[in-house]
Copies of this chain bind each other. A is one copy, B any other.
């Protein structure tokens, strides 16, 4: 959002479904079309981001954004509004998946052997916001799998072959954000890195 009023040229790559959501919001017309072009990207079709660097968008189980919810909400919808991105160079492979409701077989096979994974770390446990008295929503209701427990992401990724795993997109209730928490130590002992603002990975 902070770039909307700037005159900085960039390309907005998104699926047709995400471009449609943006088009329905006049506020996004603040992005001057003379300097910001919008490219529609098909799922599962690699495209070149820069010489030697390709990207591929792929569907991830999730839900529509909160402000578009209506009636019964499917929280593990597979469509083109919740996606991950696969970044590839000739000899390395990284995934960025900031929101994910479920690690399904499709994702398992995609991620197998990746050098680097950034993954949805919204909550530590599913009812953490409810327990803290900060809301009625569980992680599952918000379309996020939590870190801990038998259904959690730490357990789900335990046997997978992935070089480096980084949690991103933590909610401010997530105890892994506290430097001295037991939960942070547990996540790190399980081989995860807790993402931080300004973190750079080479």
Contacts and interface: CB of A to CB of B under 8 A. Distances in A.
Interface of A: 1, 5, 7, 24-30, 65-68, 134-135
B134 A26 contact: no
Nearest to A68: B26
Count of this chain's copies in the oligomeric assembly: 2
A134 B1 contact: no
Given A1-B1, A25-B25, A30 B135 contact: no
Contact of A134 (B7, B27, B30): B7
A5 B68 contact: no
A134 B26 CA distance: 25
Contact of A27 (B5, B7, B27): B27
Given A7-B135, A26-B67, 17 more contacts: A1-B1, A5-B66, A7-B134, A24-B26, A25-B25, A25-B26, A25-B27, A26-B68, A27-B27, A27-B28, A27-B67, A28-B67, A29-B67, A29-B68, A30-B65, A30-B66, A30-B67
A134 to B, nearest CB: 7
